[in-house]
């Protein structure tokens, strides 16, 4: 088989691979101090850092990338099935050569879509963002029309393979993987959502918007009109975002919500501690959102207590606050404890991730399964 210059042989799907596999993993800067532990947990041999937050590594056991102890620290990942180490700025005809090589490599794999992105989106004058866009445009001209049938990144089938390509001053890195396995619909991670738009109450609005975007990798968000129970709602950033999506929201907090939310349609404000709140008789919720500060175990206790007011398969989005857990092992121990207690109470975890606005915290996604609930632990 002829392999174009600058590429690595494409493994057959589901083939047994011998030797380490090149992989791009993105570790958010906030976890830079844990890079050694993360790479060790992956069983990864580091090659070099590329772009912003990305590490080019070699993996001998690719399934480790989904292990809970490391997965939540990795914003995005991609197996590198094709690479071209070069400096695109200094390479004549880079776009055409890169597009043609990608077609030779992936044309027969029938990706559902082609998505490209810069390894460093903050690069001066956005050169590589523009380069990535132009490269995608040329690739779509060369590949069969079927790969351009997605309306936008979020309309992809999260479990079908997409051709992702990342470009930067270090060159081009491409791979085929589903958005769910990559941990994001977009090249490099989740959709960037600005937190400083006019009228924004707090950055928490962007956080829940990104959480709902990430949720689509696993299941659709609740439909318009769904009823959310929000714990720790003040000052109302998340509340405002949910209301903007035409949800009903019961917002619980001792502190008041922002005055701009007064008399907002669909909103019920409850001035109370989450520990004392009781829903009205016959009230059930489609989803529960907790962004409460303080001890994570205490916050989960209230979520578990109120989970019995969720409809079957009700959604829980839980922000895991980590005060006091400052080491890699401590963070893993805390998350494992929270997950275990939630599972025992009928909350099945189906995703965990670190979002752009999480800082030193994680977002956990649960689904309520009343058939498995231990009533004594709920009550």
- Tens of pLDDT, residues 246-280: 999 999 999 999 999 999 999 999 999 999 999 99
**Domains of the chain from N-terminus onward:** 21-182 (3.30.2130.30), 204-378 (3.40.50.150)
**To the nearest 5 percent, what fractions of the chain are helix, strand and coil?**
35, 25, 40
Strand partners, 122: none
> How many other C-beta atoms are found inside a 10 Å radius of the C-beta of residue 45?
11
> How many other C-beta atoms are found inside a 10 Å radius of the C-beta of residue 350?
14
What is the structure's pLDDT at 276?
A: 95
What is the structure's pLDDT at 196?
A: 63
What is the structure's pLDDT at 204?
A: 86
- Candidates 90, 182, 88; CA nearest to 99 is 88
How far CA 31 is from CA of 193, 210, 337, in Å, comes to 21, 19, 21
Provide the whole-model pTM.
0.90
CB 363 within 8 A of CB 353: yes
The whole-angstrom separation of Cα 205 and Cα 193 is: 9
What is the structure's pLDDT at 67?
A: 94
Question: Would you call 279 helix, strand, or coil by DSSP?
Answer: coil
Sign of CA dihedral 148, 99, 136, 14: positive
What is the structure's pLDDT at 16?
A: 37
> How many other C-beta atoms are found inside a 10 Å radius of the C-beta of residue 162?
25
- Candidates 227, 132, 230; CA nearest to 174 is 132
> Is the link from the previous residue into 235 a cis peptide, with omega within 30 of 0?
yes
**Residuewise pLDDT in 10s, the chain (379 residues):** 333 333 333 333 333 334 688 999 999 999 999 999 999 999 999 999 999 899 999 998 989 999 999 999 999 999 999 999 999 999 999 999 999 999 999 999 999 999 999 999 876 668 999 999 999 999 999 999 888 878 889 999 999 999 999 999 999 999 999 999 999 999 998 877 776 665 677 888 999 999 999 999 999 999 999 999 999 999 999 999 999 999 999 999 999 999 999 999 999 999 999 999 999 999 999 999 999 999 999 999 999 999 999 999 999 999 999 998 999 999 999 999 999 999 999 999 999 999 988 889 999 999 998 765 544 344 4
List the strands of the sheet with 347-353, edge to edge. Answer: 267-271, 248-253, 227-231, 285-290, 310-321, 361-368, 347-353
């Amino acid at each position: 088989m002829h392999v174009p210059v600058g590429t690595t042989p494409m493994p057959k799907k589901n083939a047994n691979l011998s030797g380490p596999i090149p992989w791009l993993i993105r570790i958010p800067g906030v976890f830079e101090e844990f890079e050694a532990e993360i790479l060790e947990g992956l069983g990864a041999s580091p090659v070099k850092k590329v772009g912003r937050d990305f590490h080019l590594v070699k993996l001998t056991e690719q399934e480790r990338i989904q292990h809970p102890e490391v997965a939540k620290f990795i914003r995005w990942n991609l197996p590198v099935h094709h690479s071209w180490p070069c400096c695109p700025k200094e390479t004549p005809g880079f776009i055409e050569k890169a597009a043609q090589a990608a077609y030779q490599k992936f044309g027969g794999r029938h990706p559902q879509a082609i998505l490209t992105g810069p390894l460093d989106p903050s690069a001066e004058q956005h050169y590589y963002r523009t380069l990535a866009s132009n490269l995608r445009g040329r690739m779509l001209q060369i590949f069969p029309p079927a790969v351009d049938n997605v309306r936008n990144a979020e309309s992809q089938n999260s479990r079908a393979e997409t051709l992702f390509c990342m470009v930067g001053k270090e060159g081009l890195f491409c791979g085929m993987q589903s958005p769910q396995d990559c941990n994001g619909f977009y090249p490099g991670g989740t959709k960037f959502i600005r937190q400083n738009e006019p009228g924004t109450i707090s950055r928490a609005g962007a956080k829940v918007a990104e959480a709902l975007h990430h949720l689509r990798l696993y299941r659709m968000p609740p439909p318009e009109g769904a009823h959310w129970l929000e714990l720790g709602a003040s000052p109302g950033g998340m509340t405002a975002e949910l209301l903007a999506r035409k949800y009903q929201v019961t917002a619980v907090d001792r502190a008041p919500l922002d005055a701009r939310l007064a008399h907002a349609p669909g909103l019920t404000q409850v001035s109370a501690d989450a520990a004392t709140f009781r829903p009205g008789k016959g009230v059930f919720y489609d989803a529960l959102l907790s962004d409460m500060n303080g001890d994570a175990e205490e916050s989960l206790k209230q979520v578990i207590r109120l989970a019995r007011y969720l409809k079957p398969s009700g959604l829980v989005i839980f922000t895991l606050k980590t005060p006091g857990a400052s080491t890699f092992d401590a963070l893993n121990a805390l998350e494992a404890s929270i997950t275990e207690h939630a599972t025992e109470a009928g909350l099945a975890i189906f995703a965990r991730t670190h979002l752009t606005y999480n800082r030193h915290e994680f977002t956990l996604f649960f689904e309520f399964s009343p058939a498995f609930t231990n009533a004594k632990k709920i009550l």
